[in-house]
Amino acid sequence: LVDALARTDAAYAGGLAKYVGRSRELLAASARGDNPFEGFAPSVPDGETLVFGDAGFGAAERDGLEAARKTGFVLVAGGLGERLGYEGIKLELPVELATGKSFLELYVDYVLAVQARAREDSGDASLVVPLCIMTSDDTDAPTRALLEAEGDFGAEPGQIEIMKQDKVAALSDGNAKLAVDDDDRWALLTKPHGHGDVHSLMRSTGIAKKWRESYGLDYVFFFQDTNPLVLHTILPALGVSAKRGFSMNSVCVPRRAGEAAGAITRLAKAGDDDLVINVEYNQLDPMLRAATGDGDVNDPATGFSPYPGNANVLVLGLADYVTTLHGEDMGVVDEFVNPKYKDDAKCDFKKPTRLECMMQDYPKLLRREVPGAKVGFTTFERWVAFSPAKNALDAARASSAKGEPAGAAGSAEFEVYAAHATRLGLATAGEVAATRTLSGVAGLFGGPKVVLLPSFALTQADVDAKVTPGSLDLDADAVLVLDGANIAVESAKVSGGLKVVNKRADASVVIRDLVVSNGGLAHVEIPDADIPAAKPFERIRGYKAVDAGVLVVEVAEPGHFLLSKDGQLTKLADEAEL
């Protein structure tokens, strides 16, 4: 018991005594029914809405490319993912089945692609773009094992750092008595503290300070474990942060009034600096009713609430971040407690509770340490930015039946295809006329399964420079994967599947007059009776992918190549021949 207490004491910034003190204050406030937003007047904060294809989007991507040279990435991956119903870590799951790449591999690929571009643009061949992963007791060992097995997916030694969050002591009553196991009074009960731990860990590990002082970085980009489309928001959001001098910038998607999603909101109170922060939808509406009489209503011009939906992906200015972390609160973001009471006196709980914290509550710390720091948002169309894989198949089916986004592994996969097909001009705003239904989840993208990997394109300008407009004729069910920087498409017709891989800096390939016809990659439903016996990553989708002869072309030697006819790769004497 003493060992457990010592561990819990050491893990919490300020120690167990501070934790218990805070718990008593928050439990007393909870018992009184205090409203943390009492007296605040809400309004829409300062932010930018970027529309794919507009000049502003392209400009933000360009600015972002420059800012990305001075950016570190933080992936919060300590969550259990109970809703997903997958027994392993979420990061090992395939993002989509056309490549089978895991979330972790895709994220590392992205960081390496940014690094390669930054080196090229800056001429500094030693420039390193760092990635930090927050794990927890639930995810730490398998995350490390995956990285080790895959040689860090090609990252340099030390480029990826891992910091593990610890659990906090569970509390058994309104006086913050520490909870022990019902069957073993010497076993201290602990529970997860939430992803807000990322900030205190960025301080206690010294990583934030190192990135600022030794690496000279300006920004930190925080993202979640299973939202692959977020990669498309990184550069434009960084661009907006740079242009507007935001100390915190939240990536947002449009939300309908009343939709169960947090909203970025400006809160004003007499005598206090304004606070721009995530407000949960069930708190926003009453606040707006009290302030304006109207509640949260859609703007008739857009059909969406003026309060943007928080994707919980953050760009923080590193200078202010370091100042804030090294302030009085030691990076511990304001916590909350959510006990389920057993009695009217609100002292006994149905089960032990604990303090929790969320990374998006950082503005409260920032406001205390850097008064006047600018906090804003960048809103992207949903198809550009948002493809969370959080729900199990049953929940996905239930949401789909109600016409709501499924938010599952399968829907996220098709959202990736939709976004990439749109980037190639093969769909409009993530849609084609036809949709698919797979394993009871309807409304999935019905167009070609396109994956443009980060090595191929980081921006839409990259795509436009490499793919001649109108050059691709893909069947509705075709697969197209482009992986590698030096690939250009002039004309190709694909019925079936084509993967072109060119990882070499000393080789280039032009696709011209190519006609591919093969069985492609079929997404096949698994009958419900067979789902329990399917592979775990298939179980959460309810379907599998069957490769019926996808053509894979990999450039394996230096030189200039033409990929044409029915898939012949011809080496040319020199580039002029192209």
Exactly one of 58, 64, 192, 542 binds ligand UTP (CB under 6 A); that residue is 192
Binders of ligand UTP among 216-275, rule CB under 6 A? 224-225
State the amino acid at position 280 in one-letter form: E
Instruction: Please identify, among the stretches 2-10, 75-83, 228-236, 518-526, the one whose residues bind ligand UTP according to the rule CB under 6 A.
Output: 75-83
DSSP SS3 for 192: coil
- Smallest gap, in angstroms, from Cβ of residue 360 to ligand UTP? 10
- CA–CA separation, 44 and 139 (whole Å): 37
Number of residues that bind ligand UTP (CB under 6 A): 18
SS (H, E, C) 425-463: CCCECCECCCEEEECCEEEEECCCEEEECCCCCCCHHHH
- Binding of residue 490 to ligand UTP (CB under 6 A): no
State the amino acid at position 153 in one-letter form: F
- Smallest gap, in angstroms, from Cβ of residue 499 to ligand UTP? 29
- CA–CA separation, 394 and 402 (whole Å): 13
- Binding of residue 309 to ligand UTP (CB under 6 A): no
Alpha-carbon distances of 159 from 74, 116, 202, 363, 507, rounded to whole Å: 12, 14, 15, 28, 26
Which stretch of DSSP H or E encloses residue 234? Answer: helix 231-244
Token pair belonging to 417: 């295809």
- CA–CA separation, 569 and 553 (whole Å): 8
- Binding of residue 426 to ligand UTP (CB under 6 A): no
Spatial CA neighbour of 221 closest among 349, 389, 64, 62: 64
- Binding of residue 181 to ligand UTP (CB under 6 A): no
Instruction: Please identify, among the stretches 27-35, 190-198, 291-299, 455-463, the one whose residues bind ligand UTP according to the rule CB under 6 A.
Output: 190-198
For strands 309-317 and 219-224, give the pairing: antiparallel
CB-closest chain residue to ligand UTP = 79
- Binding of residue 82 to ligand UTP (CB under 6 A): yes
- Binding of residue 331 to ligand UTP (CB under 6 A): no
Owner of token pair 């300070």: 209
Closer residue to ligand UTP (CB): 84 or 316 = 84
Which stretch of DSSP H or E encloses residue 321? Answer: helix 318-325
Exactly one of 47, 58, 79, 410 binds ligand UTP (CB under 6 A); that residue is 79
- Binding of residue 447 to ligand UTP (CB under 6 A): no
**Cross-strand partners of 516:** 494
- Binding of residue 410 to ligand UTP (CB under 6 A): no
- Binding of residue 83 to ligand UTP (CB under 6 A): yes
- Binding of residue 367 to ligand UTP (CB under 6 A): no
- Binding of residue 81 to ligand UTP (CB under 6 A): yes
Closer residue to ligand UTP (CB): 203 or 390 = 390
- Smallest gap, in angstroms, from Cβ of residue 338 to ligand UTP? 14
Binding residues vs ligand UTP (CB under 6 A):
76-84, 134, 136, 165, 192, 194-195, 224-225, 390
